[in-house]
Structure 1
C-alpha cells in the first residue's frame, strides 16, 4: 500500500503539470466572436481563428477576442447647410468588422476600433453632405440625402476594415430662426387659403343673387304679358272670384242678418245685411 502511494506521489506532479499545461494551451472562441493570436516572436499572426476550441503555446502566444456581431451606434452632429442654416442630425449605423481584416484592425486600431473610427468619419461625412443641400432640400429630398450619406460613409468605413449593414437618419432638426420662418410661412398660407375661400363664397353668393333677380324679372315680365293679352276680362274674373270668397265667408258666419233692399224687379232681387254686434 505504501509503495502504491509513493508511486502516485511520484507521478502527481508531472501529471498535474501536464494537465495544467493542456488547460493553459486551450482557449474557446464564443459564438459571434473571432480571435487573432499574438505571438511573441512573430507579432500578430495573419490568420483569424473562428468559433470553437483551439490550441496555442502558453505564455508564448495570446488570444485577442473580437465581437463580430452587428451592433448599432448613433452619431450626432450640428453643422451648417448650403444656405447657412444650422442643422442637427443624428445618424444610426449598424456596423461590424470585416472578419478577414481583424489582424490589421487590431494592429492599427485595437479592440475599440469602432470608438476610434465611427465618430470621426461620421461627423466628417455628415458635414460634407449637408453642406451640399439647402435647408428646404434636406426636408423634401431626405431620401437622396440619406443615400448620399450612406454611400460616402460606406466608402470611408471600408478604408478602416468596417462593414456598415445599414445607415439611416433618425433625427433632423433646424435652428430656431428657420423653424419660426417655416411656421410663419405655414400660417400665411393658411390665411391665404381662408381669404381665397371667402372671396369664392362671395362670388357664389353674388352669382346666386343675380340668378334670383333674373328669375323674378322674368316672372314679372310673364305676368305683365299675360295681363296685356287678357285685358280687363282677367281683372273682372279676379273681382268675381273675390266676391264669391267674401259671400261664402259671410254666409257661414252666424253674426250676419240679411234685410231686403226693396222691391223685387224682373230678372233679379237684391238684399242688404247687418252685422249683429
Structure 2
C-alpha cells in the first residue's frame, strides 16, 4: 500500500468530519449577534423560555432545539391619530360622565423592560395587545369627568390618571410606560357653542354686578360726604346760636364794614 493511500486513510475521515462540522455550523448558525437597542429571547424545546434575554454582543445558541426572537428595547411610541406616519390607529373617542363625546389624539412612550415576560404574556405582536388596553383605560377614566370640567381645568388630572392606570396595567406584562399625553382634545360643536354662550353671559353678568357695586360704593361715598357736610353746617349753626360773638366775627369776615353800614342805617 502506497504512503499516499495510507495518509488518506488516516486523514481522510478527519478532514471529512471537520468539513461536515463546518457545514453544520454554517447551515445551523449557532452564533447569534445582538445589536445595540435589541435583546433576543431564547426559546428552547427542551427548557422553554430562557428567563434572561440575550444582551448586545455575540452568543452561542444550541441549534435545532432553540430559536431566538428579537425585541426592540429602545423607547417606542404608540400613537392614535387620524392620518400621519407611524400612527397605530385613529383618534380615541370617549364619553364624559354627562354623556358628551370627546375626541383626542394620544401618544404613549414606552419601553420593553422585560422581553422574556413580554414574549411569554403578549407574544411578538404585543403592540396589538396593549393598544386596546390603552383605549379602554381612556374611555373608563374619561367617564369619571364632566365635559365642562375637561373643557376648563381638569384635563391634566385626567391625563395623569390615565397614565398611572395604563402603567399599572402594562407593568406586569414587562412593559414600562414612560409618558402618556392627550393632545388636541375636541368637543362636540354644540357643546362648545353652549359653553361659550354661557361664558359670555356670565362675563356680562359679572360686569353688571361690578357696575352695580361701583355705583353703590359711589352712592355710599356721596351720602357720607353729605352727612359730613351736614354735620359741619349743624356745628356752625349751633356755634352761632350759642355764641353771638362768633356771629359778629363771621359777619365781619364776609361783609366787612358794609355790615356796619347796613346795620346803622
2:244 is aligned to: 230
Contact 1:34 1:65 in 2 (8 A): yes
Structure 2: how far apart are the matches of 1:56 and 1:150? 39
2:58 is aligned to: 53
> Residue deviations 1:11-50, cap 9 Å, x none?
99998876676564322112332213466xx399411541
Structure 1: how far apart are the matches of 2:32 and 2:155? 48
Matches of residues 249-268 of structure 1 in structure 2 within 5 Å? Answer: none
Matches of residues 1-277 of structure 1 in structure 2 within 5 Å? Answer: 22=25, 24-37=29-42, 42=45, 45-47=48-50, 48-51=52-55, 52-56=57-61, 62-75=67-80, 76-97=91-112, 98-104=114-120, 109-110=123-124, 112-114=125-127, 116-138=128-150, 140-142=153-155, 145-146=158-159, 148-150=161-163, 152-154=165-167, 156-157=169-170, 161-171=173-183, 172-228=185-241, 229-230=243-244, 233-234=248-249, 237-238=252-253, 241-242=256-257
CA shift for structure 1 position 195: 1.1
Structure 2: how far apart are the matches of 1:215 and 1:155? 71
TM-score calculated relative to the size of structure 1: 0.64
CA shift for structure 1 position 198: 1.0
Structure 1: how far apart are the matches of 2:169 and 2:233? 87
Contact 2:53 2:115 in 1 (8 A): no
Identify if the C-alpha distance between structure 1 residues 87 and 236 changes in structure 2 by more than 3 Å, giving closer, same or farther. closer
Structure 2: how far apart are the matches of 1:239 and 1:95? 93
TM-align CA RMSD:
3.9
> Residue deviations 1:152-202, cap 9 Å, x none?
43454357x342323534223322222222222222222222112111111
Long gaps (5+) in structure 2: 1-7, 81-90, 259-265
TM-score calculated relative to the size of structure 2: 0.66
Identify if the C-alpha distance between structure 1 residues 72 and 240 changes in structure 2 by more than 3 Å, giving closer, same or farther. closer
Structure 2: how far apart are the matches of 1:64 and 1:239? 112
The number of residues matched between the two structures is: 229
Contact 2:33 2:58 in 1 (8 A): yes
Structure 2: how far apart are the matches of 1:126 and 1:156? 12
Long gaps (5+) in structure 1: 1-6, 244-277
Secondary structure of the structure 1 residue equivalent to 2:217 = helix
Identify if the C-alpha distance between structure 1 residues 56 and 237 changes in structure 2 by more than 3 Å, giving closer, same or farther. closer
